[in-house]
Structure 1
């Protein structure tokens, strides 16, 4: 009796996982943020690695979304701009 109940529960769980995966596949992806900052893990904690345009394929790890003002302050504070997506050009920051 318990084995039958367990089997039925496992089938139900698998059906729910499949339903949830199908539903998630139908939802559109959210748009990327306008600006992101990537961090590098160090012994002293996360260290800013660079500023990127949102959706940049060269952004490592899990970047954090930032506002335009935060991106400008990060660039002015010495955090480098990505050489690939060039957020400094997009933000019209003179070099």
Structure 2
């Protein structure tokens, strides 16, 4: 004998149960409809909270993107460990990748080149 998840034993039928609900008195039916209305209002309120939360997250993301500092035009590549900086890169340089890069102004890049930093292969090319 199988036991249904609702606790009903053998001979249980959802159909007979639904017919019983539909045959209830008008007052009981109205109570059921009011209950359904409360459940749906609660679900709608939760959905509206989810929408408001998502709109807030998207607005925060848009503000973050708008407030980002501009990308630097020049980068200085630091050496490994305690080694001094090694190269000056244009931001568009194909090899200007990694976490050893620091954004600098054009004047700082010129000074670094004058101090003996090597120019990356793509610096000065278009």
Provide TM-score, normalisation by structure 2. Answer: 0.41
List runs of 5+ in structure 2 lacking aligned partners.
Answer: 1-61
- 1:31 Cα offset (Å): 5.5
Cα 1:75–1:51 shift into 2, 3 Å: same
Could you report, residue by residue, the CA deviation over 1:66-90 in whole angstroms, capped at 9, with x for unpaired residues? 011100000000000001x224x68
- Tell whether 2:75 aligns with 1:36: yes
C-alpha distance in 1, partners of 2:104/2:70? 14
Residue 48 of structure 1 aligns with which residue? 85
C-alpha distance in 2, partners of 1:30/1:82? 24
Structure holding more strand per residue: 1
C-alpha distance in 2, partners of 1:40/1:55? 20
Higher Rg of the two aligned structures = 2
C-alpha distance in 1, partners of 2:70/2:105? 15
- Structure 1 segments of 4 or more deviating over 4 A? none
List runs of 5+ in structure 1 lacking aligned partners.
Answer: 1-22, 91-95
